[in-house]
Amino acid sequence: MKVSLFITCLVDNIFPNVGVAMTRILQAHGCDVRFSPEQTCCGQPSFNSGYCDASRDVASALIRALHEADVVVSPSGSCVGMIRHYYPELFADSPKWREMAIDVANKTYEFSQFMVNVLKVDDVGARFPHAVTYHPSCHGSRLLGVKDEPLQLLQHVRDIQLIELPYARDCCGFGGTFAVKMGDISGAMVDEKAQHVTETGAEVLVGTDMGCLMNIGGRLSRTGQSTRVMHLAELLYEGMRNSKEVLV
Amino acid sequence: MTNASESSTTVLQRAEVAMQDEFLRKAVRFTTDRLRNKKQTVTASFGNWEAWRERGEAIRAHTIANLDFYLGQFADNLEKQGAHVHFAHDAAEAVTAVRQVVREKGAKQIVKSKSMVSEEIHINQHLEEDGVRVIETDLGEYIIQLAHEAPSHIIIPAIHKNREQIRDLFEADSANNLSTETRDLTAFARRRLREAFLSADIGITGCNFGIAETGSMVLFTNEGNADMVMNIPKTHIVVMGMERILPTLSDLEVMAHLLPKSATGQNVITYMSMITGPKRSLDHDGPTDLHVIILDNGRSRQLGDAQFQAVLHCIRCGACLNVCPVYRQIGGHAYGAVYPGPIGAVLSPLLNGGEQYSDLPYASSLCGACYEACPVRIPLHDMLVHERQRQVQNGHGKPLEQLAMKGYRQMFAKPGCYRLAVRMARSFQGPLVRNGKIRARIGPLGGWTATRDFPALAKRSFRDLWPNLQNGGDSDE
Ligand code: SF4
């Protein structure tokens, strides 16, 4: 299957290893992976702040980069949510763009959603002998409706110890520009989240959205916690390499 | 922390004050936790909750889409039964209507049951200016009335108070010595309120639902106080928002499940009081004079607006407050408006128009918990985004933000510019980075770095790594 990547701006510039891990996993499952460097960002930061014109400009660059793809996979539930949920509305006034936007929206999947629902893979053969807790990001789980898929993938990892996160479904306080504009409120929210993560005693916090993980990770590191923060794809890829080492 | 509604502060400033109040935060967390856990349990054991929500949404959507018809039917039926109906365009008209009745009756003392609409028109304040004593009879409302505060939650007005604070308020009002036992505190309030019920000239209530088909008004309470308010005094005034209509009694059946389960996690409400017209000759009790004031106050502006009409579906259950992570941190007063929480952040700017509440739509991380909790599926998170968009369209964007968005647009709309900008940022970040993290409180990042680290840009971006990745080569970083 030909799979085009949408590597979000955050992953591209700050967490490129998440993109690498996702690429490797997809390749290991027989996907012919492509990446168009003409993409930048989904346009969410400006859209959620109210600047639709800016978002249209940015989103149309992404649509141009992706419109010829068969399917698109991205490591962020929030950005995929933006594309699926808001692109049709964003281009409501231009029939030509709207059609392309809907086409891109219909073929774009979040990573775990694609693995489980399209590739029908919930066991990637990974082994990860650590205590792990999972934070379900709001946009991925609520707006996009990806709830069980990440857990299905995690549950099949060998030797993993999954610890439930108290108040898991409460927002971590990221919310894009919210974290900057309402920094103190957002700070209080992430503080609570980081405390809950620490309470679990897990070595690793895993999630499916780097925005949230950057937020929680930033608070954990500021408060001197050593908890490792990983994207689901990173964890699975590291786990796949672990189990290879065992076999060899 | 008292009423912040009239202040010129921003939501962030008010939130800062609230976040320093450990009592408040503990009390709000404790109670919202309890409410949402109870709700979860009750809806799970009830079963098919999503189907019930869909029914709720359908009923509300149908009613609001045909509101003129149902309002007309409701008012006709009310009048047929002998009630007086007043349509009030704004708060001032509603206050005038209440005042007129009060003067006509020469009333000196009024008992009230909890009603958010009456908060909206500040009726107590106006009546007290006229020398009329108004006594709140809902326990929570009674407490905050003694504290001279506004409600900080739609359902639990005194959510921010703990027992010690309540005991102190009661003692100050009565010179009694009280314990902090719930039993003692409620017994004290009950004694006081009983006297008030018996001596009041007028009862004022809100209205959870007006039934168009029958001209009935329905009130839900847990303390039974609304029953007393509407049955003991000779005159009963109902103040209701114009959207609180349901077509039929069978629609009420659905709401009687959705409302208490969502609000407090109760399977059924303790008291559901229904009144259909003033006392008839064979009735044992009830008011001889019934006035119904139907308030617009900015609501009708939402009719016909595709982005916002659904806000009128709200049944004021408060479930969105209980799950809101922002509300949980800052409590209700920080919203600075009559309606707090997510519904307040959406509703307050819509009802009031203008600049007053223009920062409220930003007091949300758009996490969508409110939408998920709402028994009638109002997409509050979408509305918050749409309100922000309206503000920008109307030229109310903040200058700094406008600049930032301009920069974002230029940088991210063209892949070439994006690559260049990232390369430049990478070389500029050098002095700020320690161990791969940025801690300096610089520029717009200050709000972030005050409480958390920000990661540095990676040495090589994904697009730099891509050429080595595409053929399955194994040159991982
Ligand atoms: S918006 Fe929904 S959840 Fe919030 S108070 Fe209204 S009905 Fe309840």
- pLDDT tens by residue, B345-375: 999 999 998 788 999 999 999 999 999 999 9
| Interior/surface letters B436-465, b for 16+ CB within 10 angstroms, e for the rest | ebbbeeeeebebbbebbbbbbbbeebbbbb
Residue B316 Cβ contacting ligand 1 at under 6 Å: yes
Q: What domain range includes position A212? A: 131-246
pLDDT of residue B474: 54
Q: Give the residue on A whose Cα is nearest the Cα of B384.
A: A48
Distance, in Å, from the CA atom of B462 to the CA atom of B467, rounded to the nearest integer, reads 9
Answer yes or no: do B457 and A13 touch at CB < 8 A.
yes
A44 part of a folded domain: yes
Confidence class of residue B477 from pLDDT cuts 50, 70 and 90? very low
Count of CB pairs separated by less than 8 Å, A with B: 214
Question: Could you report the per-residue pLDDT of B175-218, keeping only the tens digit for each?
Answer: 788 899 989 898 999 999 999 999 999 999 999 999 999 999 99
Closest C-alpha to ligand 1, atom 2: B374
A239 part of a folded domain: yes
Distance, in Å, from the CA atom of A41 to the CA atom of B461, rounded to the nearest integer, reads 14
A9 with A42, same domain: the answer is yes
- Residue B376 Cα to ligand 1 midpoint, Å, equals 7
Choosing from A77, A96, A118, the residue where a domain stops is A118
Residue B343 Cβ contacting ligand 1 at under 6 Å: yes
- Give which of B386, B132, B418 is closest to A47, Cα–Cα: B386
**Other residues' Cβ atoms within 10 Å of the Cβ of residue A55:** 29
- Give which of B330, B319, B320, B272 is closest to B10, Cα–Cα: B330
Helix (H, G, I), strand (E, B) or coil at B119: helix
pLDDT of residue B203: 97
Confidence class of residue B4 from pLDDT cuts 50, 70 and 90? very low
Which one-letter amino acid corresponds to residue B191?
R
- Give which of A135, A115, A152 is closest to B367, Cα–Cα: A135
Angle at A36 between CA A105 and CA A211, to 5 degrees: 65
Confidence class of residue A107 from pLDDT cuts 50, 70 and 90? very high
A185 with A221, same domain: the answer is yes
A60 part of a folded domain: yes
* DSSP state letter for B456: P
The residue-averaged pLDDT of B383-401 equals 91
Smallest CA–CA separation between B141 and chain A, in Å?
Answer: 28
Helix (H, G, I), strand (E, B) or coil at B160: coil
Instruction: Among B369, B405, B457, select the one facing A46 at the smallest CB separation.
Output: B405
Residues 6+ apart with CB under 8 A from B412: A9, A40, A41, A43, A57, A58, A61, B418
Q: Which of B380, B452, B477 to mutate to test the interface with A (most CBs of A within 10 A)?
A: B452
Angle at A19 between CA A14 and CA A24, to 5 degrees: 150
Instruction: Among B325, B409, B453, select the one facing A170 at the smallest CB separation.
Output: B325
By the 8 A CB rule, do A232 and A154 touch?
A: yes
In order of A63, A81, A93, A99, B307, the CA distances from A102 in angstroms are 10, 13, 13, 5, 20
Chain B touched by A169 (CB under 8 Å): yes
Distance, in Å, from the CA atom of B81 to the CA atom of B83, rounded to the nearest integer, reads 6
Higher pLDDT, A32 or A245: A32
Higher pLDDT, B436 or B127: B127
- Give which of B347, B332, B346 is closest to B298, Cα–Cα: B347
Chain A touched by B362 (CB under 8 Å): yes
* Distance from the Cα of residue B53 to its chain's centroid: 19
Per-window interface: B 395-414 vs A, CB < 8 A:
397, 401, 405-406, 408-409, 412-414
pLDDT of residue A247: 54
- Residue B66 Cα to ligand 1 midpoint, Å, equals 20
* DSSP state letter for B434: E
Confidence class of residue A63 from pLDDT cuts 50, 70 and 90? very high
pLDDT of residue B232: 94
Name B248's bridge partners.
none
Distance, in Å, from the CA atom of B194 to the CA atom of B171, rounded to the nearest integer, reads 18
A58 with A15, same domain: the answer is yes
A216 part of a folded domain: yes
| Interior/surface letters B411-434, b for 16+ CB within 10 angstroms, e for the rest | bbbbbeebbebbeeebeeeeeebe
| Interior/surface letters B227-266, b for 16+ CB within 10 angstroms, e for the rest | bbbbbbbbbbbbbbbbbbbbbeeebbebbbbbbbbbbbbb
Chain B touched by A184 (CB under 8 Å): yes
A64 with A86, same domain: the answer is yes
A183 with A214, same domain: the answer is yes
Helix (H) or strand (E) holding B292: strand B289-295
Domains of chain B and CATH, by start: 11-301 (3.40.50.10420), 403-471 (no CATH)
Distance, in Å, from the CA atom of A127 to the CA atom of A147, rounded to the nearest integer, reads 22
pLDDT of residue B123: 97
Q: What are phi and psi of B462, to 5 degrees?
A: -60, -40
With beta carbons under 8 A apart, name residues in chain A contacting B409. 46, 51, 53-54, 57-58
pLDDT of residue A224: 94
Question: Could you report the per-residue pLDDT of B42-70, keeping only the tens digit for each?
Answer: 999 999 999 999 999 999 999 999 999 99
- Residue B189 Cα to ligand 1 midpoint, Å, equals 29
Statement: residue B473 has pLDDT above 60? no
The residue-averaged pLDDT of A142-158 equals 96
Closest C-alpha to ligand 1, atom 4: B320
Answer yes or no: do A143 and B437 touch at CB < 8 A.
no
Choosing from A95, A118, A141, the residue where a domain stops is A118
Residues 6+ apart with CB under 8 A from B62: B247
Range of weakest confidence among A7-21, B216-230, B458-472: B458-472
Which one-letter amino acid corresponds to residue B260?
P
A80 part of a folded domain: yes
Statement: residue B8 has pLDDT above 90? no
pLDDT of residue B7: 56
Residue B229 Cβ contacting ligand 1 at under 6 Å: no
Choosing from A118, A144, A169, the residue where a domain stops is A118
By the 8 A CB rule, do A83 and A108 touch?
A: yes
A144 with A224, same domain: the answer is yes
Answer yes or no: do A175 and B444 touch at CB < 8 A.
no
pLDDT of residue B383: 98
The residue-averaged pLDDT of B221-227 equals 93
The residue-averaged pLDDT of A108-134 equals 97
A103 with A172, same domain: the answer is no
pLDDT of residue A71: 98
Which residue is associated with the tokens 């009024």? B110
A34 part of a folded domain: yes
Q: Is B62 exposed, middle or buried (0-12, 13-18, 19+ CB in 10 A)?
A: middle
Smallest CA–CA separation between B186 and chain A, in Å?
Answer: 32
Distance, in Å, from the CA atom of A136 to the CA atom of A208, rounded to the nearest integer, reads 7
- Residues, chain A: 248
The domain total for chain A is 2
A231 with A135, same domain: the answer is yes
Answer yes or no: do B385 and A47 touch at CB < 8 A.
yes
Statement: residue B430 has pLDDT above 90? no
Greatest alpha-carbon span in chain A: 58
Statement: residue A59 has pLDDT above 80? yes
Statement: residue A248 has pLDDT above 70? no
pLDDT of residue B309: 98
With beta carbons under 8 A apart, name residues in chain A contacting B418. 40-41
Smallest CA–CA separation between B268 and chain A, in Å?
Answer: 27
A192 with A218, same domain: the answer is yes
pLDDT of residue B304: 97
**Which is the closest atom of ligand 1 to the Cα of B263?**
8
Chain B touched by A46 (CB under 8 Å): yes
A126 part of a folded domain: no
Chain B touched by A106 (CB under 8 Å): no
Q: What DSSP line would sit under B185-240, residue for residue?
A: HHHHHHHHHHHHHHH-SEEEE--SEEETTTTEEEEEESSSHHHHHHHSSSEEEEEE
Statement: residue A152 has pLDDT above 80? yes
A222 with A181, same domain: the answer is yes
Distance, in Å, from the CA atom of A168 to the CA atom of A176, rounded to the nearest integer, reads 19
Chain B touched by A102 (CB under 8 Å): no
Per-window interface: B 15-44 vs A, CB < 8 A:
15-16, 19
**Other residues' Cβ atoms within 10 Å of the Cβ of residue B296:** 19
Statement: residue A17 has pLDDT above 90? yes
The residue-averaged pLDDT of B120-128 equals 97
3-state secondary structure chain A: CEEEECCCHHHHHCCHHHHHHHHHHHHHCCCEEEECCCCCCCCHHHHHHCCHHHHHHHHHHHHHHHCCCCEEEECCHHHHHHHHHHHHHHCCCCHHHHHHHHHHHHCEEEHHHHHHHHCCCCCCCCECCCEEEECCCHHHHHHCCCCCHHHHHHHCCECCEEECCCCCCCCCCCCCCHHHHCHHHHHHHHHHHHHHHHHHCCCEEEECCHHHHHHHHHHHHHCCCCCEEEEHHHHHHHHHHHHHHHHC
What sign results for the dihedral spanned by CA atoms B331, B336, B338, B340? Answer: negative
Q: Give the residue on B whose Cα is nearest the Cα of A35.
A: B466
Which residue is associated with the tokens 């933006």? A82
Helix (H, G, I), strand (E, B) or coil at B75: helix
A138 with A242, same domain: the answer is yes
A204 part of a folded domain: yes
By the 8 A CB rule, do B83 and B215 touch?
A: yes
- Chain-wide mean pLDDT for chain B? 93
Distance, in Å, from the CA atom of A109 to the CA atom of B24, rounded to the nearest integer, reads 42
A36 with A70, same domain: the answer is yes
By the 8 A CB rule, do B323 and B375 touch?
A: no
* Percent of chain A's residues with pLDDT above 90: 96
Statement: residue A55 has pLDDT above 70? yes
Q: Which of A10, A42, A49 to mutate to test the interface with B (most CBs of B within 10 A)?
A: A49
Question: Could you report the per-residue pLDDT of B262-317, keeping only the tens digit for each?
Answer: 999 999 999 999 999 999 989 988 999 999 999 999 999 999 999 999 999 999 99
